[in-house]
C-alpha cells in the first residue's frame, strides 16, 4: 500500500512539473479579427474600427500586417488604416508597433488571455496625421466551422500515460492486498 501511495505521489508530482514547464507561451501565428475604439481626447466622439491582422511568430518576435475599417466616428478619424506590424510576445504580454505609413505610427500593448485565443489592450498613435488618437483594442481568431475537437499534444499524452500507469500499479497493489 505504501508503494502505491509513493507511485501515486510521484505521478502527481511529475504532472505538476509538466504543467509548470509549459508556462504561458502562446503561438499567435495566424489571422485575427480586430476591434478598436479610441478618441482624440476627452469629450470627443470615439472612432470605432473593425478589421483584421495576420501575424507570424518566431520565438518571441511578431511580424505581420493589419487593416482596419472605420465603423463610426467623426471626420477626424482615419477611414481605412493599414500597417506593417512588428513586435514581441513575452509571457502573456503583447507589444506591437506599426511601421511608418500614411496614417502614422502607433503602438499596441495588451495581454494574451483565454489560453492564447484573445488579446486585449490599449493603443495610441504616436506620430503622424492622427497623433493623439488613443483607446482600447481587442483581437480574437475568426470563427471557423464547428468547434474543434481538443487534442492532447505531447505533454497531454505523457500525462495520460503516466495516469494510466499509476492507476494500473495502484489496482495491482490493491488486488494483492485483497488476496492476502
The whole-number pLDDT of residue 11 equals 45
Which pLDDT tens digit goes with each residue over 18-44?
A: 433 344 478 899 999 999 999 988 778
Structure-block grid coordinates of residue 142:
475568426
pLDDT tens column, 33-78: 999 999 988 778 899 999 999 999 999 999 999 999 999 999 888 9
d(CA 3, CA 55): 50
**Contact present, 45 and 136 (Cβ < 8 Å):** no
Phi, psi of 114 (to 5 degrees): 50, 45
Check residue 57 and give its pLDDT.
93
First to last CA, the chain: 12
pLDDT the model gives residue 175:
87
For 9, the enclosing helix (H) or strand (E) is helix 2-22
Are residues 100 and 83 in contact, defined by beta-carbon separation less than 8 angstroms?
A: no
What percentage of the chain reaches a pLDDT higher than 70? 83
The structural domains of the chain, with segments of one domain joined by +, span 2-23+154-179, 30-140
Contact 87, 95 (CB under 8 A): yes
pLDDT at 14 over 60: no
CATH of domain 30-140: 2.40.128.120
The lowest-confidence range among 12-21, 51-60, 76-85, 115-124 is: 12-21
Does position 153 have pLDDT exceeding 90, yes or no?
A: no
- Write out the H or E segment, with its range, that includes residue 93: strand 93-98
Q: How far apart are CA 115 and CA 162, in angstroms?
A: 24
Q: What confidence tier does 4 reach under pLDDT thresholds 50, 70, 90?
A: very low
Question: pLDDT at position 17, please?
Answer: 38
Amino acid at each position: 500500500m505504501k508503494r502505491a501511495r509513493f507511485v501515486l505521489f510521484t505521478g502527481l508530482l511529475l504532472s505538476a512539473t509538466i504543467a509548470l514547464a509549459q508556462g504561458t507561451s502562446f503561438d499567435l501565428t495566424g489571422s485575427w479579427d480586430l476591434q478598436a475604439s479610441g478618441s482624440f481626447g476627452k469629450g470627443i466622439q470615439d472612432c470605432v474600427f473593425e478589421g483584421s491582422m495576420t501575424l507570424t511568430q518566431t520565438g518571441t518576435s511578431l511580424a505581420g500586417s493589419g487593416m482596419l475599417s472605420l465603423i463610426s466616428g467623426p471626420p477626424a478619424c482615419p477611414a481605412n488604416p493599414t500597417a506593417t506590424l512588428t513586435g514581441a510576445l513575452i509571457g502573456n504580454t503583447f507589444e506591437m508597433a506599426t511601421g511608418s505609413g500614411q496614417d502614422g505610427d502607433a503602438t499596441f500593448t495588451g495581454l494574451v488571455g483565454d489560453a492564447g485565443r484573445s488579446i486585449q489592450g490599449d493603443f495610441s498613435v504616436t506620430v503622424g496625421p492622427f497623433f493623439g488618437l488613443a483607446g482600447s483594442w481587442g483581437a480574437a481568431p475568426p470563427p471557423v466551422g464547428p468547434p474543434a475537437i481538443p487534442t492532447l499534444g505531447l505533454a497531454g499524452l505523457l500525462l495520460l500515460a503516466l495516469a494510466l500507469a499509476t492507476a494500473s500499479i495502484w489496482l495491482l497493489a490493491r488486488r494483492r492486498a485483497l488476496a492476502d
